[in-house]
Every structure is written in structure tokens, then in C-alpha cells.
Structure 1
Amino acid sequence: MNAEDLIDAVRDDKQTELSRLGSSKMLYADTRGEMEPETVTAAAAAREQAAQETFDAWSADSDDDAAALFAEAAGDAADRLADIDVAPADRSFAVDAVLAGLDGTVERLGGLLGWTLVDQKVKEQLTGFFTGQADPQTASTYRSAGKDVAALRTEAGDLLETRCADEDDWGAAETAAADVVEAAYEEYFETLEELGVNPKPVC
């Protein structure tokens, strides 16, 4: 296995979950149904704050190469948070609980990769939302952020190429990535059900 194989495997295994996380219902779940620009922005800020805290913690107890990548991920999230002029919503995310439970570098790199798959879906929905709000500048900001997240996924994959010594390592990374996606989806599904919304697409 290599990084491209791992990403393809997670996308294939979690195709339904990622597809639904890429729907407009994702923002509806994040805001608990309050789809106003300020509320959407506050929820986005909460995600950036949680990511910054998680990746900062990883950077502090990782070795050189991994520490640098985790610091980069934390710095990117901090920069995006600094550009948001709305206070973060008081929210915690299931994804971050899963990430916090990952210990080894290989597992954390896999978790980071899974996080990028989820977060890019969020950024795509934020781009679409603010486009619909006739706010092209904010939409462009989130579009650019999505590209940064995709680039981070490539970097995580490249580092996994050097860290995975055997198929067990690749399997551990894949499991971590899939667990992150699954946690995001389960929270999304349960939140929408609590709000009385059908999480599944209606054909």
C-alpha cells in the first residue's frame, strides 16, 4: 500500500458518509438549524479552534518531521481563525475526540488525513453558502482554505510513505482515517435526527 492507495481505500469505504457530509445539511447540523451567516461563521470558527488545539498538542509531543507537519496544520487553522471576525461557537466535535485518542505518529498521520477529507467537505459547503449569500470575498476565502486542506492531505500522505514500515502500519493509518470520517458522519446523522431532519437524501 502507498498513500494514494490509502486515500482511495478510505474514500471507497466511506463513500456514502463523505457524500452526505458534503451536502448542505452539514452546515445545518453544525449550526443546529440556524443558517444565518454569523451562526455559520461561528460554527466554522469552532472547527478551526478545535483543530488548532488538537494539532498543537500533537506537535508538542511528536518528533521532528511529524511535529513540523502538525505545527503547520495548527498554524493554518490558527490563521483561518484569526481571519474570522465572529467568536467561535461553544461547540465540541466528535472528530476531535477521536483525534485526541490517537497516540502513535502513524495513527496521527492517518487521523490527520481523515480530518482533511472531512474538513474539505465543510469548506466546500462554506464556499457554496457564502456564494449564495452574495458574499464572494468570504466564499473565495473558504475556497482557498479548501485547497490548503487538500495540500495538507498530500503532505500527510508523503510523510506516511516514509513512516509506514509494513502493511500493519498502513492498516493502522487507514483505520485511524476511517474512524475520523465515521465519527464525523455519526455526529452529523445523530444531530440531524435530533433536529427532525432526515439525514439521508430523498430521491
Structure 2
Amino acid sequence: MDAESFREAVETAKQTQLNRLGSSKLLLALTGADLSESAVLRAAAASEHAARETFETWATDETNERARAAFESTAAQEDEHLRRVLDVVGEDIDPPDGPGPMHAYLRGRDDTIERVAAGMVGRGLVSIRAHTQVIGFFVNEANTQKADLFRELKTETNETLTTGLELLDECCDDDDWERAQMVAEYVVQLAYDDYADGLESLGVDPKPLC
């Protein structure tokens, strides 16, 4: 296996979950059905905050030099993303009460390959879809400036995903790819389960209407 086939395998295995995470219902789940601009921005800021904390935690004890550098770079990027979103919000927000299921799992990883596969690839696949929905929201609101901001954040998040795939190509032996795929898929599943639980608490079916 290589990076390209790895990504294809994860996206194929979790196609249903990723498609639903890429639907307009995602913002309902993230905001508790408050589809105001401020609620969407606060949800985005909370996501960037959680990611920054995860990558900062990893950067403190990662033994693989290139992975540590990637985690440090990603933590700095997520910090910049958070600041840019907060600039649009116009005020600081209280940090989330906890990391949420996905980031709680990520912060429990202490193996380089699992961190890269789960945090940079699995989470990246989820985050790209979240950015797409935020972009669509602001396009519908005719707010070009905010839509462009999240287009930039999405591009940079996609670059992080690419870096993660390159790292896996560098670090994985033949026996490592299966483990990497398992944790990447599990992160997508955690994100989906959290999304589905959020919708069900609102009385919304997470499955698409046929």
C-alpha cells in the first residue's frame, strides 16, 4: 500500500459516513440547530481550538523528528486558524468543556503512525467536509469575505492532510498500513457517531431522505 491507495481505502470504507458528514445537516449538529452566523463561527472556533490543543500535546512528546515538526507546524496553523475565526467573531469565546469524542481519542494516541493516520488523515477528511459546509453557509448568506476565509482554511487543512499522507509513506512498513487504516477509519466513525447523536438529540434523522 502507498499513500494514494491508503486514502482511497479509507474513503471507500467510510464512504457513507463521510458523505453524511459532508451534508448540510452537519451544521445543525455542530450548532444545536442555531444556524445564525455567530453560532456557525463559534462552532468553527471550537473545532480549531480542539485541534490546536491536540497537536500541541503531541508535539511535546513525539519522538519522530519529522512527525514532531509536522505536529508543531499543524498546531501553529490551527492557532492561526483560531485567531482568524475569532477576529471575525469579534470576541473571545469560552473553550469547549472537553475535547469531544474524536479529539479525546486522538489525544490518547502515543504511536507516531497512529497519530499521523488518525490526526492528520482521518481528522483531515472530516475537517475538509466541515469547511465545505461552512463555506456553503456563507455563500448562501452572500457573505463573500467569510466564505473566502473558510476557503483558505480548507486549502491549508488539505495541505496538512497531504503532509500526513507523505509522512505515512515515509514511516509505514508493509505491516503498518493496516493499523494506520484502522485508526483513520475509527476517527471518521467517531466523528460520524457524534454527528448522528447530535442530530438525533434534535429529533433529526442523520440518514438522508430518499
TM-score range, shorter chain: over 0.9
Q: Name 1:94's counterpart in structure 2.
A: 101
Unaligned runs of 5+ in 2: none
Q: How many residues align?
A: 202
Cα distance, 1:147 vs structure 2: 1.2
Query: Could you state the TM-score of these two structures normalised by the residue count of structure 1?
Result: 0.96
The aligned amino acid for 2:7 is I
Aligned equivalents of 1:47 and 1:142: distance in 2?
13
Aligned residue number for residue 13 of structure 2: 13
What is the CA–CA distance in structure 2 between the aligned matches of 1:28 and 1:94, rounded to whole Å?
18
* Aligned mates of 2:203, 2:95 — CA distance in 1: 22
Instruction: Give CA-to-partner distance per residue, 1:30-85, whole Å, 9 cap, x none.
Output: 00111100011001000000000000111111131001111111111100101123
Between the aligned partners of 1:121 and 1:76, the Cα distance in structure 2 is: 18
* In structure 1, distance between residues paired with 2:18 and 2:145: 26
Q: Mark the CA change 1:52 to 1:78 in structure 2 (over 3 Å): closer, same or farther.
A: same
Q: Is the Cα–Cα contact under 8 Å of residues 14 and 181 in structure 1 kept in the other structure? A: yes
- 1:122 and 2:130 matched: yes
1:160 to 151, 154, 168: 168
Residue correspondence of structure 1 range 42-121 to structure 2 within 5 A:
42-62=42-62, 63-85=64-86, 86=89, 87=93, 90=96, 92-111=99-118, 112-121=120-129
CA distance in 2, matches of 1:39, 1:65: 37
Task: Classify 1:88/1:173 alpha carbon distance in 2 versus 1 (closer, same or farther; 3 Å).
Answer: farther
Task: Please point out which of 144, 150, 159 is paired with 2:158.
Answer: 150
Q: Distance in 2 between matches of 1:157 and 1:72?
A: 15
Q: Could you tell me which of 174, 185, 198 is aligned with 1:178? A: 185
TM-score (normalizing by structure 2): 0.93
Aligned equivalents of 1:16, 1:98: Cα separation in 2 = 21
Q: Which deviates more from structure 2 when the two are superposed, residues 145-154 or residues 47-56?
A: 145-154
In the alignment, structure 1 segments of 5+ residues that lack a partner are none
Q: Which amino acid aligns with 2:154?
A: G
Partner of 1:141: helix, strand, or coil? helix
Q: Aligned partners of 1:24 and 1:101: how far apart in 2? A: 30
Distance change >3 Å, CA 21–CA 88, structure 1 → 2: farther
Change in Cα spacing, 1:90 to 1:57, as seen in structure 2 (3 Å) is closer
Identity score, percent: 39
Q: In the TM superposition, what is the alpha-carbon distance from 1:27 to its structure 2 partner?
A: 0.8
Residues 42 and 88 in structure 1, CA contact (< 8 A), matched pair in contact too: no
Residue type of the partner of 1:53? E
Q: Hey, what does 1:134 align to over in structure 2?
A: 142
Q: Distance in 2 between matches of 1:184 and 1:21?
A: 8
Residue in 2 aligned with 1:33?
A: 33
